[in-house]
Structure 1
Amino acid sequence: MILRQFLHFNPVAASYLFGCGGKASAAVVDPVGDIAPYIEAAATTGMRILYVIDTHLHADHISAGRALADASGAEYVLFEGADTGFPFRRVKDGDVLELGNVAVTAMHTPGHTPEHISLLVTDRTRAAEPWFVLTGHTLMVGDLGRTELASSAEEGARALFASVRRLSELPDHIEVLPGAFSGSVCGRSLSGKPTSTIGFERRFNKAFRIEDEAAFVAAMIADIPPPPPGAAQTRAANAGIPVQ
């Protein structure tokens, strides 16, 4: 297993390159900005980028996903329900993307957006069980993603509650690699530490701990911060839909 985390500060975001060094097969998740660092990291580690995956259609920045896929010859991947103006590799809940000895299982985790996916990653050279989960803007360190950027806040919160229940059923040892950290406009009480575990978040993430749906929805729709400037237009641009 090779894993590289890229931390970005304008906008605040986290992206990842990971894969199987032995089989020279990699994926990039939620790329931001200049695509050269991802191409260079893949070359340095001797891997070819097979998949570029966006966990969702972002509203806070223009994704570099399609540009990186075009430049690297990779397939661009989104959840099958994403409404776009371009073709892409569609994945549904439970689909597995193969990267040599590494398996990537898509989990549909709507709430932040309807098409959001998380990615459960297994390194078969270490174990048959998953090792970490890339959670995008669903579960982050210290809080959860906001729910009103692509739906009503309440509708998004109800979807997120179901997604959070699924994630909370993962084993404690599973590492959480989120798509944002403190300073991001896509969450509220986010930590500056950009990784965690399911077990730690289950114990100390206040929103993640709420088990009653009504209480969860009430917490998620309270004190919603202002949306990112031009959020609707940015999301439309990432979907390849003409901006109104």
Structure 2
Amino acid sequence: MSFDSGGSRCAGVHLLGEGDAFLDAQGRRPCVVLAHGFAGTVDSGLMPYAEGFAAAGLDALAFDYRHFGLSEGEPRQLLSIKRQLEDYAAAIAFARTLEGVDPERIVLWGSSFSGGHVVPVAVADGRVIAAIAQTPSMDGIVTFAGAARAATPAMLARLTLAGLRDLAGSLRGRAPVTVPVVAPPGSLGMMTSPDAEPGYRAITGPSWRNEVAARIALSLASYRPGLQAERLPCPMLVQI
């Protein structure tokens, strides 16, 4: 199934909750809306979480962001924080229209990068009843500092240069300059800690690609979703 976000189709998977533990008087269940972390896709380890929620009796909707996986969006592998937040909001709106879903019992779930997303998405929506963030990236400054510790100054300079080239090229309508999402220590990539590449490759599915438009490297540090936490309209579970 799919839904529209910004004029492009976002691919999603809807799982029906099992049993009647969470049914309301109208036969409707809560729905957990799930999105993956940095450059992740539904077929890269997200479905077991959706299946777990469904087995517990809740509906689950897992989706790919625009530009990634099975969703539409050109250029491919473009990670736009603004667009990902829009996609999350569109997924929530779509979930509320699904047969058997209680539109007033929507839960957000995110991991790593999307674990940060759930904060501003929940704040903007104002109606979700709960949010779950698994090992979330809540502060871009902290995230960038951690990534920088795993990289050499030369690699950071190369990454910044790639980001600038990509951004400049985008203004001229050129194809993205990409860098690896994960790479061995000492190599050019967004994440180069010793466990980054093995960890990603252990869960990646057929639609995942180890590349991302390099311009995201220029905006990571300024993305600090945790600063909005005090405005959350609902309880939030943070899992570390």
- TM-score, normalization: structure 1? 0.35
Higher strand share: 1
- Larger radius of gyration between Structure 1 and Structure 2: 2
Q: Which has the higher contact order (CA 8 A, sep 6+)?
A: 2
The structure with more helix, counted as a fraction of residues: 2
TM-score by length of 2: 0.36
